[in-house]
Structure 1
Amino acid sequence: MLIIRRILHGSSAAALLLVPALPSAAVAAAPGDAPPPGVVGGERLGAAGVQVAAGAPALPKDLTGKSWVVADAGSGEVLASFNAHAKLPPASTLKMLFADTVLPRFQASEVHKVAWSELQGMGAGSSLVGIKEDLDYKVEDLWRGVFLSSGNDAVHVLANMNGGVAKTVADMQERAERLQALDTHVVSPDGYDMDGQVTSAYDLTLFARAGLRNADFRAYCATRWAQFPGAVDKKTGQRGSFGIANTDRLLGTYPGLIGVKNGYTTNAGATYTGAAERDGRTLLVTVMHPDNSTKVYDEAAALLDWGFTAAGKTTPVGALAEDRAAPQEQSAPAAPAARPVADRPDAAAAPDAGRAATRRPPGRARRPGRRWGCARRSRRRAAAAAGAAPPGRPAGSLLDRRAGAGAVRQAALRPVRRARRTARVANGGSTSRATRRDSERGAGPRLLAGSSQARRWQTCPAMCSSSSRKPSPRQSRASRSARTASGSPQVP
């Protein structure tokens, strides 16, 4: 009954006669639903109903989404689809296009002070991350607010940084056309319900594929938890922070999931695009407007399972269009992003977690008698003294000038230090720091008046004197040298 209802929704009652003769995994479009000429991605993707190759594994049952697509992110092959080009409201999944358009334009460490005007114009009931006016925010924090909390306030701040909401909408529309996402019409950068704002499951899959080629995009959408800057405490004057969690319910629960974005509005219902990686293959799944908003994750997970089973065993029914401005070699999937530090709840308690990247590689033995990194520092100092740029840094940097000045200063001090050591030895002194320290202390240690150690010293100086303690090997050698120089007999 589910298949019959879907085909009727596709628009032809004649399809009812074809259902009993076709398996559920290969429902064909009705004769009256011929695709328009020149459909992006292939003619079959423009047809209504389920599109899947004959002989493919059976599709999951009870799929209720009005539109969905299963595609290989690496090859661009569309393995199966249902009303792939149906134009529907996008909800917050449109933020993938926003991020793909605006993300490369700002440095993650850039700091921006939010103005009151940048938080205006958001729709009623918008999802917010909690940005406050007249406070500074890093760009990377704003993007976490976009990806994790789906914050429309973060979107509007970034859009204003980009030149305004109207300019950002125009940029997004231009980017969609370059990606050949021709079903998309952008009205609001955050995906809020607006008249005429539509997209398709096919276009959302294009946005996700393009965005995942950006390492920052990939890292943000894979982040499960992060700290977000809060307001300033009026009593202490200190700025606090609070935790935000990714609203993607499959992230961390579906094996191999790497993002991408979910969304929900009253008009659009639930929408979701997810990407998962398994055995070196990355699949993309988009589901739009199922019967129940909670089913969007179940249906996406079921389609991902089917895709990993069918990949390499079924003939594709279409292809994902390539970016018109990008070279063909960029069609390969991006390398998996390292798990972000902010992905762990204990990230705030581990400020030096990034030091792990500079540790000794596993399996490489430590050089005996030397600390790791000494050779590198020696090479840099030698290069600085010679006037060359140290390895790993551009020539003329501030660090080079400091290293060069330090090397020159150390070289100038070496003859002076050598002369001082020679003079001390000639005068019968010792070069041992321990010996010089003991000689400076005098007959007894410096004790606090009235302390228990001072009372013991007064009772039995011989027991508390530094000479009664067992000397270190360096002190013993220095003492023997001093007694030999003075003619005193040596005690074995």
Structure 2
Amino acid sequence: MITGLSSRTVSSACALCVAGMLALAPTAASAGQRIMEPAPPRPRAAVPQPALLYRSGVQVRPHRGVPALPDVSALSWLVADADTGEVLASHDAHRKLPPASTLKTLFALTVLPGLPSTMRHTVTPEDLAGIGPGSSLVGIEEGHTYTVADLWRGVFLASGNDAVHVLASLGGGWEATAAKMQTKAHALGALDTHVVSPDGYDAPGQVSSAFDLAIFGRNGLRNPDFARYCSTAVAQFPGDGSSYGIANTNRLLTGANGVEPYPGVIGVKNGYTSNAGNTLVTAARRNGRTLIVTVMNPQAGGGYTVYQEARSLLDWGFGAAGLVDPVGSLDGLRATPRQAPAATPVAAATAAEPDDDSAWPGTLGVAAGTGLAGLGLGAVGLTLRARRRRAEGDEG
């Protein structure tokens, strides 16, 4: 047992303790500094703002410097980014209105994937039964054989209700097709749409909305066949002994009737009935962005106001890039979890920008700024037969 220590031993021990403390002090101080120093702030997670799409009137969340929204007379309209689904601005986006032939976008989304384009079909009287009076027609004839691709060109270019009836017959029948379209709409989150007549012909209770039609157009552009058909300006259609020319009734695409074609336009579908007025779903690509615009039933001007108002909304949307917060999303009401977005076809050969490498093969298009007049339709042998499809103002 140790009972005591000499003064030298104590002094040595104390010296060692002090040396050890001094040796450890920087480490402890450093450790203490690391503990006490506040951590760098983490990036704040973006808090989604509540959607404004169910509110009435114009909805937009502008930043400083954003262009003023154009004056639009349509009962309902919407501007959205086709890639992200963000809605940049809207007016009564969920207002339920008759869609006219813009409902053919949902018809194509539903039926097109199940019918091979090269499939041939000889038309029967039953295929053409029940076409509404005054319907727009491409000129389908009983006993004539068409490919499915022929029929889709009849739908998208001439808005032919006769072509819709034949394709619906191939797809399981009229009522079954309407039911499938309804199911498809709900799966996409298009809850305002009620389908009665797959061709868009006016029927009691048949409605859609600017929101829903934008969904249909956006999803349609993800299908290469849909995208190709809706962007085709002119084509040949089989007739008695020879084909004849048909032209797309979307004036922003063709530039017909004095409507200036829109640079970078992709399509998608226009419509008219006496009840619905003029309706339009269109899309365009510029500077790496694809916008989709829906315009339903303008209240001012004539039959071409729908194109003028769509043009002004597209211009605004491209000018507002990065200067607005979204007021909602086209994916906001989907019934299934959102999947990774597929690449959106970015431009049609009809109006491809010089640096655009995504023009679709097989599209018979119109260069921006030329319109149908620039094609020299007589030179290419296209005889647009008015008796085959009715002029602007037809039902459906």
TM-score range, shorter chain: 0.7 to 0.9
Preserved contact between residue 157 and residue 230 of structure 2 (Cα < 8 Å): yes
Letter in 2 for 1:259: G
TM-score by length of 1: 0.59
- Offset from partner CA, 1:429-458 (integer Å, 9 cap, x none): xxxxxxxxxxxxxxxxxxxxxxxxxxxxxx
Structure with higher helix content = 1
Partners of 1:167 and 1:70 in 2: CA distance: 32
Match of 1:283 in 2: 291
1:329 aligns with 2:340: yes
- Offset from partner CA, 1:204-259 (integer Å, 9 cap, x none): 0000011100000000011000000002xxxxxxx211000001010141000000
Partners of 2:71 and 2:323 in 1: CA distance: 23
1:29-108 counterparts in 2 under 5 A? 43-55=51-63, 57-108=66-117
Deviation at 1:61, TM superposition (A): 3.6
Preserved contact between residue 70 and residue 316 of structure 2 (Cα < 8 Å): no
TM-score by length of 2: 0.73
Match of 2:244 in 1: 242
Partners of 1:349 and 1:113 in 2: CA distance: 31
1:218-367 counterparts in 2 under 5 A? 218-231=227-240, 239-252=241-254, 253-291=261-299, 292=301, 293-321=303-331, 324=335, 328-335=339-346, 336-343=358-365
Letter in 2 for 1:194: A
Q: Secondary structure at the match of 2:263?
A: coil
Match of 1:116 in 2: 125
1:429-468 counterparts in 2 under 5 A? none
Deviation at 1:326, TM superposition (A): 7.7
Letter in 1 for 2:269: K
Partners of 1:348 and 1:99 in 2: CA distance: 31
Partners of 1:224 and 1:140 in 2: CA distance: 15
Deviation at 1:311, TM superposition (A): 1.8
Partners of 2:198 and 2:263 in 1: CA distance: 31
Deviation at 1:275, TM superposition (A): 0.3
Match of 1:184 in 2: 193
Deviation at 1:331, TM superposition (A): 4.7
Partners of 1:177 and 1:207 in 2: CA distance: 11
Preserved contact between residue 62 and residue 323 of structure 2 (Cα < 8 Å): no
Partners of 1:303 and 1:162 in 2: CA distance: 36
Partners of 2:312 and 2:225 in 1: CA distance: 28
Letter in 1 for 2:54: G
Deviates more, 1:307-316 or 1:66-75: 307-316
Sort the Cα spacing of 1:55 and 1:275 in 2 relative to 1 into closer, same or farther, 3 A.
Answer: same
The runs of 5 or more residues in structure 1 that have no matched partner are 1-40, 232-238, 351-492
Sort the Cα spacing of 1:348 and 1:294 in 2 relative to 1 into closer, same or farther, 3 A.
Answer: closer
Deviation at 1:59, TM superposition (A): 3.5
Deviation at 1:55, TM superposition (A): 3.2
Of the two structures, which has the highest relative contact order with CA contacts closer than 8 Å and spacing of 6 or more? 2
Preserved contact between residue 274 and residue 286 of structure 1 (Cα < 8 Å): yes
Partners of 1:242 and 1:103 in 2: CA distance: 24
Partners of 1:168 and 1:88 in 2: CA distance: 21
Preserved contact between residue 228 and residue 363 of structure 2 (Cα < 8 Å): no
| Structure of higher CA gyration radius | 1
Give the number of aligned pairs.
303
Letter in 2 for 1:44: L
Match of 1:157 in 2: 166
1:170 aligns with 2:179: yes
Preserved contact between residue 169 and residue 189 of structure 1 (Cα < 8 Å): yes
Preserved contact between residue 227 and residue 342 of structure 1 (Cα < 8 Å): no
Sort the Cα spacing of 1:112 and 1:189 in 2 relative to 1 into closer, same or farther, 3 A.
Answer: same
Deviation at 1:74, TM superposition (A): 0.5
The runs of 5 or more residues in structure 2 that have no matched partner are 1-48, 255-260, 347-357, 367-374, 381-396
Letter in 2 for 1:46: Y
Q: Secondary structure at the match of 1:220?
A: helix
Letter in 2 for 1:168: T
Deviation at 1:346, TM superposition (A): 9.0
Partners of 2:329 and 2:50 in 1: CA distance: 7
Q: Secondary structure at the match of 2:364?
A: helix
Q: Secondary structure at the match of 2:267?
A: strand
Deviation at 1:270, TM superposition (A): 0.3
Match of 2:41 in 1: none
Preserved contact between residue 221 and residue 258 of structure 1 (Cα < 8 Å): yes
1:135 aligns with 2:135: no
Letter in 1 for 2:190: A
CA RMSD of aligned residues (A): 2.2
Partners of 1:267 and 1:142 in 2: CA distance: 26
Letter in 2 for 1:80: A
Letter in 2 for 1:226: A
